[in-house]
Amino acid sequence: MKKKLLAVILASAMALSLAACSGGGADSTSEKSEPAQTSSAASASSATEEKSEEPVAPVDVENAQGVTDTKVIIANTAATSGAYAPIGLPFLAGIQGYLDMVNSEGGIDGREVVFIHKDDEFAPDKGKAYLQEMVEDEKVFAIVGHFGTPVVSATIEDLENYGIPAVYFATGIGQLFNDHATDNSNGFNIFPVQPLYITEGQVMVSRAVGTFGATKIGIIYTSDDAGKNMLDGAKKKAAEVNVELVEQQVAAGAADVSAAVTAIKDAGCDFVIIAAIQATMPTITKEMAAQGMTVPAITTYVDASVSVSEQIADEIAGKFDVYVSSWKTHDDEHADDLALFEQWVDKEYITNTDAESGWVAAHVFCTALKRLEGKPVTWESYMAALEEAPIDIPFGGSISFANGARTGVQEMILRKCDGTSADGWTTVDGFRSMDELTQQ
């Protein structure tokens, strides 16, 4: 937070200095103290010219950088060229579409929300350089929709040191997780929305216990960060709800996972968590079927794709069910969300889930900003507004940042692998919080 405070102080000092030298200032209407009196000769001269001069606008030292009477400037970097452009382009289209909708209605408190984007090509060094440029040179108010694991990993410490509000991260890495961030501590300005792997590990245990009555849960996790983060969350929640957790690790992308599956089967687990993303999850599932396992399993929302369902649906048919948690849906309750999304986002992206995620990112940012209508917009007041009350998520449940919660969404629906469904999965239960599932 030190850099943040220094930036605000320097910006205020510079503005005051320029006003003193030029007789001009920013266009704020905030009240300021009277200027010091000069000599009588100078006062007389000033009095004779007073009628012909335009009134001097007072200097705005109440609002944060990137905030004027007419604009709030936000920014991010994301890959819009290269291999990850098919994700970055729709994600940015979702953000811009939501802001176009907000600005068409007069903005927020009379301010247009201006979005600056830079193409980092998914390269950590470029993301790091652009972040510095946006915060220190262009002096944006907030970072919204920070994109991609390698860039976020390389810049998370910089974000924390700046103290700038950072809302929504297009990654689920454990570095973002903090279940009790405190003011002036690292991570307080970090506001993840998309599910974090640690949180999802907790959600999967909660589902196993609350929906399936599990008492002995097996978890097969990959050796990469995603698998280890889900394991960390699962261990935390299993200890809280007093259920046994049997762990087996496999290498990410492993072709042979038979030993791990055998160990889980022999342990007599009544539920299995597959803590692995798309490259490894189908291999684990097929091996479970091959060994004749019959207990239900759940995996990460990242695996909720047609391509994954197509790989496993026939293998598990008549043997056991595989479920995923999901944080977004197009059910009837969210029809209004979908209608607005389709109205404002570029037509080529209206069926794109990454565009939906960008829409959510902008929605969360704007919801908190609206809470400051008629008040100074500072980094501190904005972050307090984010913590003030839960925020409903388009296509989803809600998220709370209260009491320093920086865990991403916790309310998720349950979907089952279904080879007859158009998208490969069918919703079988609605949004539930972990507390609701475990009755804590």
User: What residues have CB less than 8 Å from 5, skipping those under 6 apart?
Assistant: 163
Q: Residue 278 above 80 pLDDT?
A: yes
| pLDDT tens, residue by residue, 104-126 | 999 999 999 999 999 999 999 99
Q: In terms of Cα–Cα distance, which of 19, 12, 105 is closest to 376?
A: 12
Give, as one character, the DSSP assignment of residue 280. T
Q: How confident is the model at residue 61 (pLDDT cuts 50, 70, 90)?
A: low
Report how far residue 225's alpha carbon sits from residue 205's, in angstroms, rounded to the nearest whole number.
19
On the 0-12 / 13-18 / 19+ scale of CB atoms within 10 A, 435 is: exposed
**Sheet with 112-118, edge to edge strand ranges:** 112-118, 71-77, 142-147, 166-170, 190-191
Q: Is the dihedral of CA 151, 154, 159, 160 positive or negative?
A: positive
Per-chain mean pLDDT for the chain? 87
Q: Which two tokens stand for residue 82?
A: 């290269």
Q: How confident is the model at residue 301 (pLDDT cuts 50, 70, 90)?
A: very high
For position 53, what pLDDT does the model report? Answer: 43
**Section 344-357 average pLDDT:** 95
**Section 383-393 average pLDDT:** 97
**Torsion angle, CA of 315/319/321/322, rounded to 10 degrees?**
-40
Q: Residue 9 above 90 pLDDT?
A: no
Q: Was domain 198-326+413-438 assigned CATH 3.40.50.2300?
A: yes
Q: Residue 50 above 60 pLDDT?
A: no
**Section 10-24 average pLDDT:** 37
Report how far residue 293's alpha carbon sits from residue 285's, in angstroms, rounded to the nearest whole number.
10
For position 440, what pLDDT does the model report? Answer: 56
| pLDDT tens, residue by residue, 242-253 | 999 999 999 999
Q: Is the dihedral of CA 105, 74, 151, 162 positive or negative?
A: negative
- The CA-based diameter of the chain, rounded to the nearest angstrom, is 99
**Torsion angle, CA of 416/421/422/428, rounded to 10 degrees?**
-40
Q: Residue 35 above 50 pLDDT?
A: no
Pick 92 or 61 by higher pLDDT. 92
CATH of 71-195+353-409, picked from 3.40.50.2300, 3.40.50.920, 1.10.3720.10, 3.40.50.300, is 3.40.50.2300
- The pTM for the full model equals 0.84
**Section 128-155 average pLDDT:** 96
201 neighbors 189 (Cβ within 8 angstroms)? no
Q: Residue 7 above 50 pLDDT?
A: no
Q: How confident is the model at residue 349 (pLDDT cuts 50, 70, 90)?
A: very high
Report how far residue 26's alpha carbon sits from residue 71's, in angstroms, rounded to the nearest whole number.
13
Report how far residue 14's alpha carbon sits from residue 146's, in angstroms, rounded to the nearest whole number.
29
How many other β-carbons are positioned within 10 Å of the β-carbon of residue 103? 16
Which range has the worst mean pLDDT, 56-70, 160-174, 359-373?
A: 56-70
For position 64, what pLDDT does the model report? Answer: 92
Q: How confident is the model at residue 27 (pLDDT cuts 50, 70, 90)?
A: very low
**Section 343-361 average pLDDT:** 96
The segment(s) of the chain belonging to CATH 3.40.50.2300 are 71-195+353-409, 198-326+413-438
For position 41, what pLDDT does the model report? Answer: 33
Q: How far apart are the first and last CA of the chain?
A: 35
Q: Residue 202 above 50 pLDDT?
A: yes
